[in-house]
């Protein structure tokens, strides 16, 4: 950090690690190994232990789903439908931007690209203290828009029963299968398959540290969206920003968890100090203050910088999951910044909109991963694959000669001979490693 930067509130906690605690790694490995070896029996054993939950079937049937959805107030269902309409529309625009194509690169040489959806995807919708209903929109809907045939969604039980709003959200989003099971055992069951649950090809969705570690350990056997860490926000503000708004927006993300970093980078010391004062005033009456308070105390930062250029540069160093721009000209950030999961421009926009209803996906990179990746989107559920076809004999012969030489440069004689065959069959080359000859057509 530059010597010109003034920190008026510093983080006092150790920065979150990209690796899990050893005890979490060990527990997760034990559960995965058990599910791998014993399938449904292991799922039931761990579900009983962790969630006190052992129903006759973890999968909800159509009648049960209909009954649960009918118990949800119509206003809540309307809000779910509204949010899903926004998310579906943006996801569809993303899908429409990805096109298959075929080009002729040499006479009779055709190369093509196709975007093929994975066959089956798992979607995790967290429960417990924060039943992240919106995660159903982000994972299930996005997969269905991508064209995934089978989406299996799961959520933990809530006090011994399926959580109605989460089930409704998964159903309205288009889940083909809905399970009520949580934690590592749910991730393992869907990733590996059991006697009664078919394995998926990809698994997505946020969760606690154990769910995150399960995805990490299973990655390779199954695709995943991201390695997730604590929710993060950086707000870039100039002297036009309203400190009350800044404070409110910081606390909106601090309530995700006691380890959630909340950072203000501002060109105005007055905005910085007044924001701190507003946070101190607002926290005591915030119902989630028991979580947001420790997050702000231990992970909150307020840094004053001399210019907006310096603010954007520092924000890029953080590479935060969410970056909110509260300046006179917020769209400047589109051209000044490169490292963020999602960018929120202007005081009419807030991160909470992105979390819940605006239409972009809220499954985003954390722990600096925004330096090299974006978040969950339609493209994550697609395999971009290529194909090749040569219809012209002369082009095949020419490529055979060049490929033969290139392969021998690398000491790949088998590759070279495969190329030689085409050079001889479709051209005038001779095979000096065999007596076989081709009749020229």
Catalytic residues: 321-322
Closest CA to 235 of 279, 285, 172, 201: 279
Which tokens sit at 57? 């079937």
How many angstroms separate the first and last alpha carbons of the chain?
A: 71
Give kind and range of the element (H or E) at residue 121: strand 120-124
**What H or E segment, with its residue span, contains residue 402?**
helix 393-409
Inter-residue long-range contacts of 349-357, CB under 8 Å, 24+ positions, other chains counted: 349/324, 350/249, 350/252, 350/324, 351/233, 351/249, 351/252, 351/253, 351/322, 351/324, 352/249, 352/252, 354/322, 355/134, 356/83, 356/134, 357/79, 357/82, 357/83, 357/86, 357/134
Distance CA 144, CA 169 (A): 14
| CA-wise closest residue to 54 among 63, 41, 68 | 41
Q: Cα separation of 278 and 9, whole Å? A: 14
Place of tokens 């990179």: 365
Q: Which long-range contacts (CB under 8 A, 24 or more apart) does 344-349 make?
A: 347/241, 347/242, 347/245, 349/324
CA distance 158 to 152: 19
Closest by alpha carbon to 84, among 353, 356, 304? 356
- Please report the sign of the dihedral spanned by the C-alpha atoms of residue 358, residue 359, residue 365, residue 371: negative
Contact 172, 80 (CB under 8 A): yes
Q: How many residues does the chain have?
A: 441
- Tokens read off for 197: 């649950």
DSSP-derived secondary structure letter, 128: T
Strand arrangement of the beta sheet that strand 382-390 belongs to:
101-106, 109-117, 382-390
């Amino acid at each position: 950090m530059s010597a010109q930067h003034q920190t008026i509130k510093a983080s006092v906690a150790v920065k979150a690690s990209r690796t899990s605690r050893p005890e979490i790694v060990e527990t997760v490995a034990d559960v995965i190994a058990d599910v791998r070896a014993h399938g449904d029996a292991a799922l039931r054993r761990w579900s009983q232990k962790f969630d006190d939950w052992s129903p006759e079937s973890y999968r909800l049937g159509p009648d049960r789903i209909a009954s649960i959805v009918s118990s949800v107030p119509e206003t809540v269902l309307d809000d779910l439908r509204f949010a899903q309409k926004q998310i579906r529309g943006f996801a569809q625009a993303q899908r429409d931007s990805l096109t298959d194509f075929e080009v002729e690169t040499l006479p009779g040489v055709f190369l093509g690209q196709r975007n093929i959806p994975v066959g089956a995807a798992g979607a995790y919708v967290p429960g417990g203290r924060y039943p992240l209903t919106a995660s159903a929109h982000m994972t299930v809907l996005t997969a269905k828009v991508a064209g995934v045939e089978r989406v299996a969604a799961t959520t933990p039980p809530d006090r011994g029963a399926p959580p109605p709003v989460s089930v409704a959200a998964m159903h309205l989003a288009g889940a083909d299968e809905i399970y009520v099971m949580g934690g590592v055992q749910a991730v393992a069951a869907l990733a590996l398959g059991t006697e009664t649950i078919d394995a998926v090809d990809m698994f997505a969705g946020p969760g606690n540290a154990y769910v995150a570690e399960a995805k990490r350990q299973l990655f390779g056997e199954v695709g995943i969206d991201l390695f997730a860490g604590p929710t993060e926000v950086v707000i870039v503000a100039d002297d036009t920003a309203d400190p009350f708004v800044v404070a409110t927006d910081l606390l909106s993300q601090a309530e995700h968890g006691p380890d959630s970093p909340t950072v203000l980078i501002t060109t105005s010391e007055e905005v910085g100090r007044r924001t701190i004062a507003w946070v101190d005033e607002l926290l005591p009456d915030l119902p989630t203050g028991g979580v947001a308070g420790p997050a702000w105390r231990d992970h909150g930062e307020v840094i004053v910088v001399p210019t907006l250029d310096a603010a954007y540069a520092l924000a890029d160093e953080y590479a935060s999951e969410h970056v909110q721009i509260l300046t006179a000209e917020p769209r400047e950030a589109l051209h000044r910044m490169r490292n963020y999961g999602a960018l929120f421009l202007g005081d009419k926009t807030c991160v909470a909109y992105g979390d819940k209803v605006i239409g972009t996906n809220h499954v985003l990179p954390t722990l600096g991963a925004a330096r090299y990746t974006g978040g969950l989107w339609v493209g994550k559920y697609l395999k971009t694959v290529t194909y090749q076809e040569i219809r012209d004999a002369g082009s095949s012969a020419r490529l055979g000669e060049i490929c033969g030489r290139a392969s021998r440069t690398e000491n790949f004689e088998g590759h070279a001979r495969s190329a030689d065959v085409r050079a001889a069959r479709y051209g005038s080359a001779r095979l000096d490693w065999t007596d076989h000859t081709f009749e020229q057509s």
